Structure formats: C-alpha cells, structure tokens
C-alpha cells in the first residue's frame, strides 16, 4: 500500500527529496554548525592557502559516501585534494542522502600525502525514519596511487584502496542475519582518466573499478549473511563531462552484493552535478536510486555534499 503511494508520487520525489534535504540538512543545529565551520574554515584559508596548485580545477573529484575521493557513490583513482607530488593536502566533507524511508549523514576528512597516499575517515549515521532507529558506522580508508596521472599520463591513473568499516550499532545487523555484525574490510582497484577536449572540445572523465566486499548496504547491515558469507567482486563505474571549468555533470553505477535472505539488495546509480567555484570548495548535488533497502523498495531521492579543501 505504501508502495503505491510512493510509486505514484515518484516523479515528484526528487523535489520532495531536495526540499527535505535542504530543510533537515541546513536547519538542523548540528549540521548547521558543521557546515558553517566548514565554509568559514575554507574561506579563512583562502589568502594563506598555497596548495591547490598541483592539479587543475575539479581534478580531485568529490567525496564519496564512504569518505574516499571519487564521485558521490564510487571511489575513483584520484586522491583527495589538490596536492602535487611535493605537498600534502587536507580536506573535510559533509554529505547527506535522503531517500523515501531512510536518511544517511556522513562527515569526515582526508589527507593526501604527495599525491601518492590518501588516508580518510568517515562517520556515517543512517536513520530509519519509520522505525525511528539509527545505525552508526565508522570507516577508515587508505588509497595508494599505483600508476599515472588522471590527465597527463598516456594510460589511466590507477589506484588501489581499502575501507575498514566498524559498526557502532550492531543490533539491526544481527537481527537481519549478518554473519559478522561488527566489522568488515572492502578492497578496491580503480582506474580513472580525464580526456581533454574529447567530446566536441569538452573534457570527459571516466572511472571504472572493482570492489571485493562482504558489506551489506555499505556495512550498515553488517558483513556477509545467511545467503552468502564470502567476498564477492562488484563493479563500480562513473562517467562525467565538464561543461566548463567549474561544472561537471555525470552518472555513476555501483553494483552491490546480495548476501542477506530477509530482503533483496539492489545496485545503485545516480546522476550528479558538481560545482567547483574555486580550489577550496566543491558542492555536489545528485539524484540517487538506491533500489530496495531492507524490504523497502524504490528508495530514491537527493544527495547533497560539500567538500572543503583546507590546504
């Protein structure tokens, strides 16, 4: 019954999702403080910041929901921030995904060491709106650039990474039949390339990766399950075009495992627009389709993310 209502109104759910996100994200006191701090820090750093010279605008991508540099949903081979091989870059981010029955808040930060190693930390808070429950998870990530440069090398930039995930609230994972309700580790390998002037003079970026994972819904529902309790390989891909020096539009796809018997887990996709006013901030807005989550189908909505590049 609830499904009918949702489905019937799905065409307007983007607008609803958006206004929901703006209201709750911008007007909740905690978030407000967080965002203000972020913006003020970024602006305060403007005159003294000397990083932001190692790459061209938009080259570091944005921050994905597990804290790694990439698109919104998938990690790319790029490392967070504008560091060149001679310096270190630091960035902070805050994201919100609001779909019909759930809301995911993520915030964290990343360090980029000499455009070689990225270390990231992300804290996720997942709200089950109807149940009035929440699941919190911490993710520690590391990414190493193995080869190349997104723009300048002949072959794509290639990186490999890990995401170590630790669930703080384990009751729901346990209840839905996760094999491990405490922690899990994802491993990924990804290749990305920006082609200057590739389509009618516009720059085109693609990224493709494969992830070995046991995580159910990012790990929020634990790791492994009654249906399958081993690693599986999942494909993640993104494609984007830069409309000008400051705006990129694109789409992403993220394959998901389906380890739990109690409900189906589906692949994710999104279309996004990212705005890079300068080398200190980035704002990304997306329309996401997360499929079925824990028995609630057609979870669609909006995604809003802000990354501040501090130095």
Partner 1 sequence: MTQANSQASSILRDATKAIAITLTAATLHLTGCAGVTQDASLYRALGGEQGIARLVDRFVEEISYSEDIAPFFADTDPDRFREKLSEQLCNISGGPCEYTGDSMRDSHSGMSISEADFNKTVDLLINVMNKEGVPYPTQNRLLKRLAPMRKDIIYL
What residues make contact with partner 1 under the rule CB under 8 A? 3-4, 7-8, 10, 53-56, 84-87, 115, 151-152, 154, 193, 195-198, 200-204, 206, 208, 237, 239, 244-245, 251, 253, 266-267, 269, 289, 291, 297-298
Gyration radius (Cα) of the chain, Å: 19
Give whichever of 55 and 214 is closer to partner 1, judged by the CB atom.
55
Give whichever of 83 and 97 is closer to partner 1, judged by the CB atom.
83
Q: Closest distance between partner 1 and the C-beta of residue 188, in Å?
A: 17
Q: Closest distance between partner 1 and the C-beta of residue 141, in Å?
A: 24
Q: Closest distance between partner 1 and the C-beta of residue 199, in Å?
A: 8
Give whichever of 182 and 267 is closer to partner 1, judged by the CB atom.
267
Q: Closest distance between partner 1 and the C-beta of residue 121, in Å?
A: 26
Give whichever of 180 and 236 is closer to partner 1, judged by the CB atom.
236
Q: Closest distance between partner 1 and the C-beta of residue 264, in Å?
A: 12
Q: Closest distance between partner 1 and the C-beta of residue 210, in Å?
A: 14
Give whichever of 18 and 251 is closer to partner 1, judged by the CB atom.
251
273-275-279-280 Cα dihedral, nearest 10 degrees: -110
Give whichever of 169 and 292 is closer to partner 1, judged by the CB atom.
292
Helices 13-27 + 29-45 axis angle, to 10:
80
Q: Closest distance between partner 1 and the C-beta of residue 149, in Å?
A: 8
Q: Closest distance between partner 1 and the C-beta of residue 197, in Å?
A: 4
- Neighbouring C-beta atoms of residue 168, cutoff 10 Å: 13
Q: Closest distance between partner 1 and the C-beta of residue 276, in Å?
A: 14
Give whichever of 7 and 46 is closer to partner 1, judged by the CB atom.
7
Give whichever of 222 and 291 is closer to partner 1, judged by the CB atom.
291
Q: Residue 68's closest CA among 145, 122, 106?
A: 122
Give whichever of 137 and 269 is closer to partner 1, judged by the CB atom.
269
- Neighbouring C-beta atoms of residue 236, cutoff 10 Å: 25
**DSSP per residue over the chain, as a string?**
-HHHHHHHTGGGHHHHHHHHHHHHHHHSHHHHHHHHHHHHHHHHHTTT---S-SS-TTTT-EE-TTSSEESSSSB-SS-SSS--TT-EEEEEEEEEEEESSEEEEEEEEEEEETTTEEEEEEEEEEEETTTTEEEEEEEEEEEEEEE--TTTSSSPEEEEEEEEEEES--HHHHHTT-SBSSEEEEEEEEEEEEEEEEETTEEEEEEEEEEEE-BSGGGTT-BS-SS--S-EEEEEEEEEEESSSSEEEEEEEE------SSS----EEEEEEEEEEETTEEEEEEEEE---BTTB---EEEEEEEEEE--
């Amino acid at each position: 019954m609830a499904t009918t209502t949702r489905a019937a109104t799905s065409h307007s759910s983007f607008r609803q999702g958006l206004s929901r996100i703006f209201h709750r994200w911008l007007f909740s006191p905690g978030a407000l403080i967080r965002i203000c701090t972020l913006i003020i820090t970024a602006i305060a750093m403007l005159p003294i910041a000397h990083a932001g010279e190692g790459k061209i605008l938009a080259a570091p991508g944005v921050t994905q929901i597990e804290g790694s540099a990439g698109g919104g949903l998938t990690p790319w081979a790029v490392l967070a921030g504008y560091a060149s091989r001679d310096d270190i870059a630091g960035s902070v981010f805050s994201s919100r995904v609001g779909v019909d029955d759930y809301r995911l808040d993520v915030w964290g930060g990343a360090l980029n060491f000499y455009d070689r190693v990225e270390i990231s930390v992300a804290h996720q808070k997942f709200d089950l709106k109807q149940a009035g429950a929440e699941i919190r998870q911490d993710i520690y990530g590391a990414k190493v650039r193995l080869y190349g440069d997104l723009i300048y090398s002949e072959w794509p930039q290639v990186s490999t990474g890990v995401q170590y995930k630790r669930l703080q609230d384990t009751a729901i994972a346990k209840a839905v039949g996760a094999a491990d309700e405490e922690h899990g580790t994802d491993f990924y390998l990804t290749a990305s390339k920006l082609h200057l002037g590739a389509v009618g003079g516009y720059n085109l970026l693609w990224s493709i990766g494969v992830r070995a994972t046991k995580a159910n819904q990012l790990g929020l529902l634990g790791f492994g399950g009654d249906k399958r309790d081993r690693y599986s390989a999942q494909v993640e891909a993104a494609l984007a075009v830069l409309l000008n020096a400051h705006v990129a539009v694109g789409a992403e796809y993220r394959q998901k495992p389906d380890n739990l018997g109690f409900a189906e887990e589906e692949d994710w996709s999104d279309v996004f627009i990212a705005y890079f006013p300068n080398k200190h901030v980035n704002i990304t807005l997306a329309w996401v389709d997360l499929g079925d989550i824990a028995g609630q189908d057609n979870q669609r909505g909006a995604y809003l993310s802000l990354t501040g590049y501090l130095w």
